């Protein structure tokens, strides 16, 4: 999810099945894949998680409209089960809540802007435990902690602790004037019901010493299968790599041919200019680990000219931009960078499966969408 107020994904989609592999171009292979969407499903796949159960892969999606978690069988291309969430009256309004699957029978329902009231349910929606941790004393605003529990900054559960990304609510053009550190990571110790900031993880010096708009000051990160944290920052060519205890072990160059740097903005940069500035300039986006093929995918949102105040009204305008995907091997050596047209794909709905990198074709501006299927391209570089 991008920032909570702006990372909106509209997913339209699919009839079932997998077509034969075909050449998309000379550099990579592409397959067509369709996921059946029934009458109870929402087109909003903003919050989802891939869950593997033995040899099976499932796509869990928060269905805010139906107040369920919809579980799709990726192999069969259709829904397998729905977990009813209305058994807990606190979650009758799900527009501002998140979820995380620890395992198929342990699912966390997480409130927005806080971790107080987090609920653990089973696979049938029955409440198993309620959490009520006190928030850290050094939160930016009383009783608010802006965690980011979405596919671009996934939560991770390890040894009784839930690790979450933190998005500052401060004006990031003034970070260098802040009297306190701005932390980027949260730890929720669920065994003792305690929440605290990871004090090792703050903004890189490039951000603290300069001024960047909020849309360029949110990180994307993954925890790899080798228990390393990999962070992608929008204006940094480098990927920052930390060990499992958050010690910086590598700062590897991972620059795109399309990114030539981004100058800091002036302090008090007009908020009404944020979107134009973001759309017009190239920046780095998601980082995804492909643990099956030992690859990393770094997405690059390419800036475009011709911003129109009459038609570029919100974050959906980003869907017009062309993008590229940088492919790295397991040691972060660049294999190649691949180009994609705008107005076709939704990069925030992409995920890795057994067959390859799934990218939904439910771009806001894609005219070729279906009301009963969610169409993906499966790409193997």
pLDDT of 64: 87
Identify the pLDDT of residue 225: 96
Residues 11, 45 contacting (CB under 8 angstroms): yes
Identify whether the C-beta of residue 166 lies closer than 8 Å to the C-beta of residue 145.
yes
pLDDT at 26: 52
What is the CATH classification number for the domain harbouring 67?
2.120.10.30
For residue 11, pLDDT beyond 50: no
How would you class 128 by CB atoms within 10 Å of its CB: exposed for 0-12, middle for 13-18, buried for 19 or more? exposed
In a domain, 231, yes or no: yes
Q: Find out whether 345 and 359 touch, Cβ atoms under 8 Å.
A: yes
Residue 192 tokens, joined: 């003792």
**How many domains does the chain contain in total?**
1
In a domain? residue 142: yes
DSSP code per residue over 177-200: G-SS--B-EEEEETTTTEEEE-TT
Is pLDDT above 70 for 104?
Answer: yes
**Percent of all residues in the chain with a pLDDT value above 70, rounded to a whole number:** 91
- Quick one: residue 17, left, alpha or beta (phi over 0 = left, psi -120 to 50 = alpha)? left
For the ranges 218-222, 263-267, 323-327, which has the lowest average pLDDT?
A: 263-267
Q: Cα separation of 28 and 32, whole Å?
A: 14
Residue 18: pLDDT over 80: no
- Domain-located, residue 129: yes
pLDDT computed for residue 90 by the predictor: 59
The answer to the question of residue 352 being in a domain is yes
43 in any annotated domain: yes
Residue 91 reports pLDDT greater than 90: no
Q: Mean pLDDT across the stretch 167-188? A: 91
Q: Does residue 8 fall inside a structural domain?
A: no
Distance between CA atoms of residues 97 and 95, nearest Å = 6
For residue 23, name the pLDDT band (cuts at 50, 70, 90).
very low
Strands 156-158 and 161-166: antiparallel
Chain mean pLDDT for the chain: 90
Cα 236–324–359 angle (5° rounding)? Answer: 115
Mean pLDDT of 11-31: 51
Once rounded to an integer, what is the mean pLDDT over residues 20-33? 66
Task: Assess contact for 18 and 31: CB atoms under 8 A.
Answer: yes
Task: Give residue 148's pLDDT band: very low, low, confident or very high (50, 70, 90).
Answer: very high
Is residue 13 very low, low, confident or very high in pLDDT (cuts 50, 70, 90)?
A: very low
In a domain, 7, yes or no: no
Name the percent of the chain lying above pLDDT 90.
Answer: 81
Cα separations in angstroms, 105 against 86, 125, 159 = 17, 9, 17
Please say if the pLDDT value at position 117 is more than 80.
yes
Choice among 19-23, 295-299, 332-336, 355-359 with the minimum mean pLDDT: 19-23
* Token pair in block for residue 246: 């958050």
Tens digits of residue pLDDT in 269-324: 999 999 999 999 999 999 999 999 999 999 999 999 999 999 998 999 999 999 99
Which of the four pLDDT bands, split at 50, 70 and 90, describes residue 177? confident
Contact 46, 1 (CB under 8 A): yes
Residue 249 lies in domain: 17-380
The reported pTM is 0.91
Q: Is residue 11 part of a domain?
A: no
97-124 b/e with 16+ CB inside 10 Å = b?
bbbbbeebeebbbbbbebbbbbbbbeee
């Amino acid at each position: 999810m991008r920032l909570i107020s702006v990372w909106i994904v509209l997913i339209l989609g699919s009839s079932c099945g997998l077509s034969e592999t075909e050449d998309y171009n000379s550099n990579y292979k592409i397959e067509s894949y369709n996921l059946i969407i029934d009458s109870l499903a929402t087109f909003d796949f903003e919050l989802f998680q891939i869950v593997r159960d033995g040899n099976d892969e499932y796509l869990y999606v928060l269905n805010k409209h139906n107040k369920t978690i919809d579980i799709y069988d990726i192999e069969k291309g259709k829904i397998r089960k729905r977990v009813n969430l209305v058994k807990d009256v606190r979650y009758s309004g799900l527009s501002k809540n998140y979820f995380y699957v620890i395992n198929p029978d342990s699912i966390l329902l997480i409130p927005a802007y806080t971790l107080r009231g987090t609920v653990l349910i089973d696979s049938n929606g029955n409440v198993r435990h309620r959490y009520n941790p006190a928030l850290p004393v050094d939160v930016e605003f009383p009783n608010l902690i802006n965690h980011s529990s979405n596919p671009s900054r996934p939560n991770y559960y390890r040894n009784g602790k839930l690790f979450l990304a933190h998005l500052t609510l401060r004006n990031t053009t003034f970070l260098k004037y802040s009297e306190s550190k701005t932390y980027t990571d949260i730890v929720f110790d669920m065994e003792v019901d305690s929440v605290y900031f990871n004090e090792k993880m703050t903004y890189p010096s490039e951000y603290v010493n300069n001024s960047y708009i909020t849309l360029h000051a949110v990180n994307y990160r993954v925890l790899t299968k080798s228990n390393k944290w990999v962070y992608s920052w929008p204006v940094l060519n480098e990927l920052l790599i930390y060990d499992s205890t958050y010690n910086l072990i590598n700062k590897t160059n991972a620059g795109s041919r399309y990114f030539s740097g981004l100058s800091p903005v002036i302090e008090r940069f007009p908020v009404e200019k944020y979107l134009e500035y973001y759309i017009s300039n190239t920046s780095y986006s998601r980082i995804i680990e492909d643990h099956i093929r030992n690859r990393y995918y770094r997405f690059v949102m390419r800036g475009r000219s011709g911003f129109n105040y009459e038609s570029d009204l919100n974050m959906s305008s980003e869907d017009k931009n062309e993008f590229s995907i940088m492919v790295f091997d397991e040691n972060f050596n660049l294999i190649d960078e691949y180009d994609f047209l705008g107005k076709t794909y939704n990069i925030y709905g992409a995920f890795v499966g057994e067959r390859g990198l799934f990218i939904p074709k439910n771009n806001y501006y894609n005219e070729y969408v279906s009301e009963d299927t969610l169409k993906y391209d499966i790409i193997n570089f």
